[in-house]
Structure 1
C-alpha cells in the first residue's frame, strides 16, 4: 500500500472504532482500499481529509456515505469476486488438461 492508502485506512479504522453503528459500511470501504486497491485516489484523499473530531464523526461518515455510496462499494466487491471466481475456473480447467 502507498502512503495515501495507509493514511486513509488509519482514518477508516479510527472512525470504525469511534462509531460502531457504521461498522459494516466502513469495513467495506477498508476492504476496497486494502484487499482490492480499487478506490480512486480522489476518494482516498477525501477520506484522509475528513473531520475526525468526536463531535463531528457522525457527520463525517454521513458525508462519506454520500460521496462514496454503498452501492459503489458493492459493485467493486462484486466485480472483484466475479474476477476471482473466473480465475479459479481457469486454473481448474488448466489442471485437468
Structure 2
C-alpha cells in the first residue's frame, strides 16, 4: 500500500461500543483527521467503521480507537479492532453516523 494514495479501511470494532456515544466520538476523530466514510452499529454489538483517506491518517484513527478510555477519553470499551484494507471508492463525502 502506498501511503501517498488514498485507501479504504473497513474496521470492525469489538467490545462495549453501542449506546455509549462511540459512533459520535469516532465521527469527530475521523473528521479531525480529514477522513470520509461512516460508522454504524451492527446487529451483533460491534461497530463497523468505513474510513477513506491517506493510510497514515486511517492508521492514526485505528490507534485512537484502540487506546484505553483513560488515555483517549473515548466512550465505551474496545476489546479489538479488525481491519480490512482496499482501494478508496469514488463518491464518498463527509463522515456520517448510520
TM-score norm. by structure 2 comes to: 0.29
Larger Rg over CA atoms = 1
Q: State the structure with bigger RCO (CA 8 A, min sep 6), 1 or 2.
A: 2
TM-score norm. by structure 1 comes to: 0.30
